[in-house]
Chain A
C-alpha cells in the first residue's frame, strides 16, 4: 500500500471543497450546464441514460480494506447498493445524485480516495499490473513509477487541457497483464545490458473508432529520465495534436499521421531542448516514493502446507485453485483472483455486501490489501497457501469463487445501452446469456483460455478489438446488431481481431459464439492449442464458413 502524506490529503480535501461550491452554484443556476460540464467531468461525473455516473480512481488498482469498505458504504448510502469495476482499474457508481456528490466525495477523501482525472482531456488513472509487487520474476514494483507519474501529472496545468484524454499503463513482467500496447503510452520496465533499470517506451496505442497497437519509440529510457521523456511526448502531443476534430485528437492519430520515426525525432528534439535537468529523478526522490509503499511482513512458510495437501482431495477446491490461484514471489504465498463474473451476473459488478465481505477477507487473509485488474476482477495479493481452503469456502459463500478466470465466461463488457448514453447496443445481457450457455465448468475448462470482450459502441470501452472473440454492438435501422471479430489479444503479443463477416442480430449472438467455439474445438490440432493460436494458424475463413454457412 502507498501511504499518502499531508500534501496529498490537503489536495484531495481542497478539491472536495471546490467541487462542493461548484455543485452549489450549478444547482442554484449560477452556473449553466455548459459552464459546469467540464468541472463535473474533471471530478469523474458523467451524465448517463438514467442518472449521473460517478467514476472513482483506484490508482494502479491498489485498494486497502478500509478503502473498499468505504466504497461499499458509498454504494449503499449514495447509490443502489453496487458498483462496477472498469477496464481501467476504476470503479463506477451508476445512480449517484448530483446534489449528494460533494458529501460522497468528502467521505471518500477521508480514506484517501478521489475522482480527479477519471474523465476529461487530461492524464487519466495510470494503470498497472494488478499483480504488481507480488508477481514472480518482476523487474521491480511498477507501481512506484505509476505513483511518480500520478504525482507529477495530477492537476499539472500543462496536462489539464490536452487535445484529448491520455492513458498510460506500466508493466514490469514479461507477461503483460496491463495491456500496455493499447495505451497512449505503454511503459515496459526492464533491465538493459548493463543491468540498469529503465523503460521500453511505446506510444500511440488505443482502441475506439481508429484502433492502433502502440509502437516502440525508445527501447530504453533510464528510470531517472522517464518523467522528462514522458513530458517530452506530451509536449509534442500538446503542440501538434488535433483539437479541431474529436475523432482525430488522440495521440495515436498524430503518431500514425507523422509516422513513428518523425514523431520520435520531434520527441527527441523536445527532450533535448528541455534539458530535462529539473525533471531528472534523483535517486532520493525515487527512494522516497518507494519507501511509502509498505509490503507485508511475510512469514517463512512451506511451499506445500498440510492444509493444501488435504484440500486437494476436494475436486471443487482443486478446480478453483488451478483456475484462480497464481504463484507469488514469496514461498508459501499465493495471489488469488476473485471472479466478478458469476454465471448470469453483470461482468465486473460487486454489491456493497460483497465489497464489505471482501474487505474482511482481505484483513483476515491478505494483509488488508485488494487489487483491481483491467479484466474487471479483483485479487487478494498476499494469501498464505495454508489459508487457501478456508478462503475458498468463504468466497464460494459470497459467489466470488466461480472458477472461470481467463476462461470463456470471464467476459469483459462495458455497461452498454443499459446505462451508457454513448452506446448503440446492449453489452451486459449478451454477456449474461453467454455465461449461461457456457456455464458448465468442464466445458469451459476443455475450451481453455478464451477471452470474450464486448463493447456497446465503437468507443470500445469493452476492448472488443483485442478480445480473442470481440463483439461490437452497432445500430441498424433501430435494431441492435453485433459485429464479431476473432484473433485479437491484449497481451505482449497484442493485435487487433479480424472481422468474420456481416453483423448479426441480438438474438443470434450467443448462437454465433457457440458456433465459433465449436469450430475451434474441431479445428485445434491439440487440446493445448489456444483459441487465438488456432485462429492465427488458420485465419478467419474456417470460422466464417461455420458461422455463415447456415445463416
Chain B
C-alpha cells in the first residue's frame, strides 16, 4: 500500500488513471469508478486533480488481493476515447511492439 508520505507527494498534471496488475494472473488492470478493476482502459475512472488521484490510489492500493503495484498513470483524452499517456503505458495497454516471429 502506498504510504501516506508517498501519497502526499503525488501531483498530476493532466488526466490520469490508476493502473496495476491483477493478482492471480498479473494482467494489466485499471481501477474503475465502481471500485473494481477492469482490463479495459476505457472503463478506468479518470481523475483530474491531485487530491482525487491520491484518493483513487489509496482506495486501489487497499485492494491488495485484487491487484498489486497500483500507481497513477497519465492518459490522453481524445473526445470520448481514452489513450495511454506515454510509451510505457501504451505498451501495457496495447501489448508488445515487436514481431514475435522472424519477419
> How far apart are the CA atoms of A343 and B27 in the complex, in Å?
30
**Quick one: closest B residue to A30, CB to CB?**
B65
- Residues facing A in B31-66 (CB within 8 A) are 64-65
* Docked pose: A418 CA to B96 CA in angstroms: 5
The answer to whether A344 has its CB under 8 Å from any CB of chain B is yes
A426's nearest neighbour on chain B, judged by CB, is B97
Give bound CA distance, A429 to B96, whole Å.
Answer: 10
Contact (A32, B64) CB under 8 Å given A417-B91, A418-B97: yes
Q: Which of A48-56, A246-254, A271-279, A522-530 contacts B (4 or more CB under 8 A)?
A: A48-56
Q: B87 within 8 Å of A by Cβ?
A: yes
Encoded as 1 (CB less than 8 Å from any B CB) or 0, chain A from 48 to 80 comes to: 111110000000000000000000000000000
With a cutoff of 8 Å between Cβ atoms, the chain B residues found around residue A26 in the complex are 23
Could you give, for residues 4-25 of chain B, a 1 whenever the CB lies within 8 Å of some chain A CB and a 0 otherwise? 0000000000000000010111
Interface contact B88-A417, CB-CB below 8 Å: yes
Q: Which of B27, B65, B91 contacts A51 (CB 8 A)?
A: B27
Interface contact A33-B87, CB-CB below 8 Å: no
List the B side residues contacting A29 at CB < 8 Å. Answer: 64-65
Q: With A97-B25, A98-B24, A417-B87 in contact, do A33 and B95 touch (Cβ < 8 Å)?
A: no
- Closest approach, in angstroms, between the C-beta of B13 and any C-beta of chain A? 12
Indicate if the CB atoms of A480 and B99 lie closer than 8 Å. no
| Number of chain B interface residues as a range | 20 to 34
| C-alpha gap A32/B97 in the complex (Å) | 33
Would you call A82 an interface residue if the criterion is a C-beta within 8 Å of the partner chain's C-beta atoms?
Answer: yes
Min CB distance A146 to B, Å, is 32
Determine if A97 and B26 form an interchain contact, defined as CB atoms under 8 angstroms apart.
Answer: yes
CB-based contact A99/B91 at 8 Å: no
Say yes or no: A432-B99 contact (C-beta < 8 A), given A33-B64, A47-B68, A417-B88: yes
A27 in contact with B26 given A417-B87, A418-B98 (CB within 8 Å): no
- B24 and A97 contacting across the interface, CB-CB below 8 Å: yes
A345 interface residue, CB < 8 Å from B? yes
Partner of B92, one of A47, A50, A99: A50
Is A349 interfacial (CB 8 A cutoff)? yes
Say which residue of B24, B68, B98 sits within 8 Å of A429 (CB atoms).
Answer: B98
Q: Inside 8 A of A542's CB, which chain B residues have their CB?
A: none
A470 surroundings in chain B (CB, below 8 A): none
With A51-B25, A51-B26 already in contact, the answer to whether A478 and B86 are too (CB < 8 A) is yes
Assembled-state Cα–Cα distance A495/B16 (Å) = 45
Q: Tell me which residues from 92 to 127 in chain A have a Cβ below 8 Å from any Cβ of chain B.
A: 96-99
Mask, B80-101, CB within 8 Å of A = 1, is: 0000001110011001111111
Whether B69 and A49, one on each chain, are in contact in the complex, defined by CB atoms closer than 8 angstroms, is no
Does A302 belong to the interface (CB within 8 Å)? no
Given A29-B65, A33-B69, A417-B87, A82-B25 contact (CB < 8 Å): no
Residue of B whose beta carbon sits closest to that of A32: B64
Contacts of B102 in A (CB 8 A): 342-345, 399
Binary contact readout A393-432 vs B (1 if CB under 8 angstroms, 0 otherwise):
0000001000000000000000001110000001011001
How far is B88's CA from A27's CA once the two chains are assembled, in angstroms?
27
Query: Is the C-beta of A368 less than 8 angstroms from some C-beta in chain B?
Result: no
Q: Is the CB of B99 within 8 A of A98?
A: no
User: Distance (Å) between the CB of B31 and the closest chain A CB?
Assistant: 16
Closest to A341 in B: B102
Measured between beta carbons, the chain A residues less than 8 angstroms from B103 are: 344, 432
Structural contact, A98 and B100, CB atoms closer than 8 A: no
Nearest Cβ on chain B to A375's Cβ, whole angstroms: 18
23 sampled A-B residue pairs with Cβ under 8 A = A29-B64, A33-B69, A34-B1, A47-B26, A51-B25, A51-B27, A96-B26, A98-B23, A98-B25, A344-B99, A344-B103, A345-B101, A346-B99, A349-B100, A417-B87, A417-B88, A418-B96, A418-B98, A428-B98, A429-B97, A432-B103, A478-B87, A480-B87
